[in-house]
Structure 1
């Protein structure tokens, strides 16, 4: 019996400031994980978006992760525009062995997210 293991699930993200038409650099992003819908959230990683609005070095998710949550601390970034949202939290289901790219499209009074590739 051979013991093959699935590759760990992974997460990446980027932020595009749609009101300015450019990436949102310098935004703090935290990643939390849990196992099961009633599991406790555990902090997993923290990063800051680079000049391209990307977090490029988020670590692989622990085995057994079923949900992940990205929290984007956008208040400081958007302070000059009088932004309505101080933070954006996105919770999503995790599939073992898959890569989950979660872009955030941000403007002062709204945002949208989607599963990218």
Structure 2
């Protein structure tokens, strides 16, 4: 989650920064095809797919690291992408691992969802 807080939830513990990282070599066939497509302009589906898959991978790694620390949420999540050399791309996601608890009904900041989850812990 890219926000610094989660509506209806109180951050009860902060475990610190977590991240996921991957460095990918560009597929020569996809890069070759994309080179020809770039002449005419427009989207390069091969590169879009590679970047999308990389982002999914780094988010999964970040979530795993957060869970290993005992967190049940990540706040202030961000992505960073950079090229390394001519054929490699680095994709990183990072954020702050936290433990959140739902705010019960009647308390300041409660939402319908947090009130329900607070009253029904088995639904979490």
Please give the TM-score of this superposition, normalised by the length of structure 2: 0.26
User: Which of the pair has the greater relative contact order for Cα pairs under 8 Å at 6+ separation?
Assistant: 2
Q: Which has the higher strand share?
A: 1
Please give the TM-score of this superposition, normalised by the length of structure 1: 0.27
Is the radius of gyration larger for structure 1 or structure 2?
Answer: 2
